Amino acid sequence: MPHLMLKDLPRYECLLEAAREFPELDPTAAEAYLHLLRTADDVFALSESRLAAAGISQGRFGVLMLLSHCSGPRNGNASCATGPRTPAELADAAGVTRATMTGLIDTLERDGYVVREPDPSDRRMLLVRLTRKAENFLTRFLPIHFRGASEVMGALSDSERKTLVRLLGKIQHQLATLPPPAPTQKTA
């Protein structure tokens, strides 16, 4: 659900002009910043529209993906081992709250994609399982999804992709070092 606002990015001259008023505005930084958000938003929107055409939302699709690579036969591969099964594990893996995951599972269960089953060993817990319908959906849709990603990234060569990943990695690393924001003081 992209909502970046600012559909049309300001042109570089506008950034330069704004920088005269705000010395904190670094034009090249702002340009890269806005392009990053804008491009990712467009990519996200395309993915979402494809999912919507298939009748599912990003959030729900994410849950199906998380469940898919654990409901199949266990592969011994340690790197891609058992996935989440309980609502709490799904929430942690997806990066949303448990309340949100409850809502997602509600709609997925209503639409017949998953079922909740009690955990025999701990009555507090539930186990979420994909239905046949969900497996059929994934079998049908995942090729479309992967092909879509390949098409988007088809604009870049292999070395360009590596460069992009490297630059994004630097940004990620920078994000990890930045302190969390404190509440803005009302009075100067």
Partner DNA sequence: CGAAAATCATTAGGAGGCTAACAGTCAGCC
Partner DNA sequence: GGCTGACTGTTAGCCTCCTAATGATTTTCG
Site for a copy of itself in 7-66 (CB under 8 A): 7-8, 10-11, 13-14, 17-18, 22, 24-26, 28-33, 35-44, 46, 49-50, 53-55, 58-59, 61-63, 65-66
Which positions from 57 through 86 interact with DNA, judged by CB under 7 A? 57-60, 86
Residues 112-131 that bind a copy of itself (CB under 8 A): none
Alpha helices by DSSP H, listed for the chain, are 12-21, 27-53, 58-71, 87-94, 98-110, 132-153, 158-177
Which of 85, 92, 119, 122: binder of a copy of itself (CB under 8 A)?
92
Length of the chain (residues)? 188
How many CB atoms are closer than 10 A to CB 19?
14
List 17, 26, 106, 160, residue binding DNA (CB under 7 A):
106
Q: Answer yes or no whether residue 161 interacts with a copy of itself by CB under 8 A.
A: yes
The interface with DNA within residues 3-32 (CB under 7 A) comprises: 3, 5
Name which of 110, 127, 108 is nearest 58 in CA terms: 108
Structure token pair of residue 74: 């266990």
Residues of span 130-159 touching a copy of itself by CB under 8 A: 140-144, 146-156, 158
Alpha-carbon dihedral angle through residues 84, 43, 171, 182, given to the nearest 10 degrees: -80
Q: How far apart (Å, rounded) are the C-alpha atoms in residues 64 and 68?
A: 6
**Cβ 134 to a copy of itself, closest distance in Å?**
15
* Contact residues: DNA, CB under 7 A: 1, 3, 5, 57-60, 86-88, 95-107, 116, 122-126
